[in-house]
A and B are shown apart, each in its own frame.
Chain A
Amino acid sequence: MLACSERLGYAGLTKSAIRIVTPGGVERGFTVIVCRACRDPPCARACPEAALKVRQGGGILLDPSKCIGCGHCVEACDIGAIRLDPETNKPITCIYCGYCAEFCPHGVIALEEVG
């Protein structure tokens, strides 16, 4: 999360496209929520303004100028990998840069081609 925020030049947690939650406390372990770059992404289909384009190789690309901040994409993603940035009212989406993976000490996150 920190690396993802820092990629944009921010120190913080809430601009990250990654979320880490514990399903019932630390003792239950962690869930890392990150975009899996769907081949057929429901979020893109749910976008009424075509601001989310299907990306070659999987996942989506956001065109912020088209986005109206309706949040349909958030609803459409069952994984929970999209959230709205409360400051910009636009979705925070993964750009598949792999910067986070460089700082994951245990290889939990990796950047891979989607098969």
Chain B
Amino acid sequence: MGRDWIRTLSRVLYIDLAKKSYWVENREDLFEEWLGGIGVAVKLYEEEVPRGADPLGPENAIIFSVGPLTTIYPMASKTIAAFKSPLNNYFAESHAGGRSASAIRFAGYGAIVIRNASERPVYLIIEPERVRFRDAGALWGVRSAETVGRILREVTGGAGVRSILRIGGAGERLVRYASVMVETFRHFGRMGLGAVFGSKKLKAVVIIAGKNFRIPKLKEYREIHREIYELTRGPGTKKYHDLGTAANIISLNVIGALPTRNFSSGRFEGAEEISGEKLAETMLARRVACVACPVACIHLAAIREEYEDEKFLYKTEFISYDYEPIYALGSNLGISDRFGLFKMLKAVEDWGLDAISTGVALAWATEALERGIISENETLLHLRWGDWKTYVEAIKNIVTQPNEFYQALALGVEEAAKKYGGEEFALAFNRVEPAGYVTGPLYFISLAVGSRHSHLDSGAYSMDQKLFSKGEKLPAPEEAVEKIAEEEAWRQVLNSLVICLFARAIYTPDNICNALNALDYDFTQDALRELGWKIYLEKQRIKREEGFRPTELRLPERIFQTPTPLGKISKEYIQRALETFEKIIGNST
């Protein structure tokens, strides 16, 4: 094994927010066995977070980790965050790019563990040789995560080689799906890391790079690096750089898989208006990339807006867009007005919310109001499909929580529906609001059993789509579960290296071995696959110990009513899949 390279990666920075102290430990033991990224994060989580911990209590920890390929190979651009989720009370992970991974790696760390809670608002500046605890009194209450970044850019140093992670109002107010903004336009979006920051009175973390490491086998490295670089310039990444993920709006709508008005349909009549094509034509203003990525999938729209009180006085704002926020705040709320959609997206960005959870919560509230389950006494607003101005107000209410209803909504759609009714159309899987696909049963199975309840856990939405486009029959539920688990296990390898999952078709077991071995590792393809399974099962074991039982999950009735491209989903099919899954996992963990 490459001692030198592992040694540079194995430094774990521990930070105690209560004592305002920090230290570095050499954890070669972890990085040798678990590679990096999610593999190492799972083990650190196990060490740090006791079973039964309150996700918003000081006993929860925030763990960031990167991996052996981070930044030095194309698209190895992601940081893993692991923590106990305040949204569902289980082990959770969230991934983000921007400059976070390069900053952590070249500040000289493979992982950062943030323990305990501060009494007063604080932010951290992490540099190669020190950590500074700075008073965040002047920043606490600054509601826009974007503004917080603007301020920190001026006062922290490290321009060009730093990463700025911070929360907005939603994190401070402990909205259970508050996000952490990374630079501008990237996020640790899902599972409520923002609320965990807020509970620790941690407003921001600035990480500044400064270290350089010798590449062990330079000749081999250059060869394999160039090979992978060429692949990232090829057709495998085209859909991400041309229209970006927003290209999905049309392709999903055409097959009837685009969640519309709270998942009541897979077809949205206004899809054209909010499509990737239309956005590129009318609003796309800039494309940017994470560090080490030649693809540049981040699409920024320019929103030109006239001041209400003065004609010919304009401001222009930039907002990033992707498929998921467009589905969640667009089709799922009946929004086809592009300008309105971006005003909502901007509100979600500023407040520091997760766009998916926010959209799904508002869709449930809209339908509940429509059906008379709740009234305007609760919502305070006349929520209507397509009325973006009212939704912008409602987004604010989720953060400011002016009444009990919004307090409940800030806990997630599951809690809100438990209290007010309408559970059959409250879209959540293990209490997590879903990403936007009504492709078929495999996707929903994956949401139920996936370790982070994300569409990227296993890409099962794409398995559904392939079955549909090839006109193939559904596999037996047992077989479906196996396929989903197999894919998810392999993705643990990618998430340990850490590679952006948009490069999943580029990085094969073969070239990953070559890439690692140029860094003095000694990996075989079998060993990689084995490690993937090991990490996967480890995660499942932890969740099991935390009480997770797939067969006891509440499944929203709605998914059995709305037709998918593969027809209506059978309850029995899903149940059998979940039972199979529980057996496999129960036996092996």
Contact = CB atoms under 8 A, between A and B. Distances in A.
B212 interface: yes
A21 B160 contact: yes
Contacts of A24: 150, 153
17 contacts: A9-B214, A10-B212, A10-B213, A11-B212, A11-B214, A11-B215, A12-B106, A12-B211, A14-B211, A19-B160, A20-B160, A22-B159, A24-B153, A26-B300, A27-B184, A27-B318, A103-B294
Contacts of B14: none
A87 B225 CA distance: 27
Interface in A1-47: 2, 5-6, 9-15, 19-22, 24-27, 29-30
A12 B150 contact: no
A5 B212 contact: yes
A9 B214 CA distance: 6
Interface string B502-540: 000000000000000000000000000000000000000
A105 B241 CA distance: 12
Given A21-B159, A25-B150, A105-B294, A11 B183 contact: no
B165 to A, nearest CB: 14
Given A6-B215, A103-B229, A105-B233, A13 B183 contact: no
Nearest to B162: A13
B71 interface: yes
A86 interface: yes
B218 interface: yes
B212 A26 contact: no
A98 B317 CA distance: 36
Contacts of B323: none
B288 interface: yes
Given A12-B211, A20-B160, A6 B72 contact: yes
Contacts of A6: 72, 215, 221-222, 225
A12 B185 contact: no
Interface residues of A, number: 24
Contact of A12 (B159, B212, B296): B212
A2 B209 contact: no
B210 A14 contact: yes
Complex A-B, nearest 8 residue pairs according to Cβ-Cβ distance, in ascending order: A12-B212, A27-B318, A10-B212, A105-B294, A21-B160, A11-B72, A13-B161, A11-B213
B183 A26 contact: yes
A62 B278 CA distance: 52
A20 B161 CA distance: 8
B318 A14 contact: no
A15 B212 contact: yes
Contacts of B150: 24-25
B359 interface: no
B35 interface: no
A86 B210 contact: yes
Given A14-B211, A19-B160, 20 more contacts: A2-B71, A6-B215, A6-B222, A11-B106, A11-B214, A12-B211, A12-B212, A12-B213, A13-B102, A13-B106, A21-B159, A21-B160, A24-B150, A25-B153, A26-B183, A26-B184, A27-B185, A103-B229, A105-B233, A105-B296
A11 B209 contact: no
A9 B106 contact: no
A24 B150 CA distance: 7
B292 interface: yes
A14 B184 contact: no
A76 B25 CA distance: 42
A68 B288 CA distance: 39
Contacts of A14: 106, 161, 209-212
A103 B229 CA distance: 8
A113 to B, nearest CB: 26
B571 interface: no
Nearest to B289: A105
A29 B214 contact: no
A20 B166 CA distance: 22
Contacts of B286: 27, 29
B149 interface: yes
Contact of A25 (B149, B292, B296): B149
Contacts of A25: 149-150, 153, 183-184
Interface centre among A11, A14, A86, A103 (most CB of B within 10 A): A11
A14 B210 CA distance: 6
Contacts of B294: 103, 105
Interface in B271-318: 286, 288, 291-292, 294, 296, 300, 317-318
B214 to A, nearest CB: 6
Interface centre among A19, A25, A29 (most CB of B within 10 A): A25
A68 B53 CA distance: 56
Contacts of A9: 214-215, 218
Interface centre among A13, A25, A86 (most CB of B within 10 A): A13
A27 B212 contact: no
A86 B291 CA distance: 23
A92 B218 CA distance: 21
A18 to B, nearest CB: 10
Interface string B183-194: 111000000000
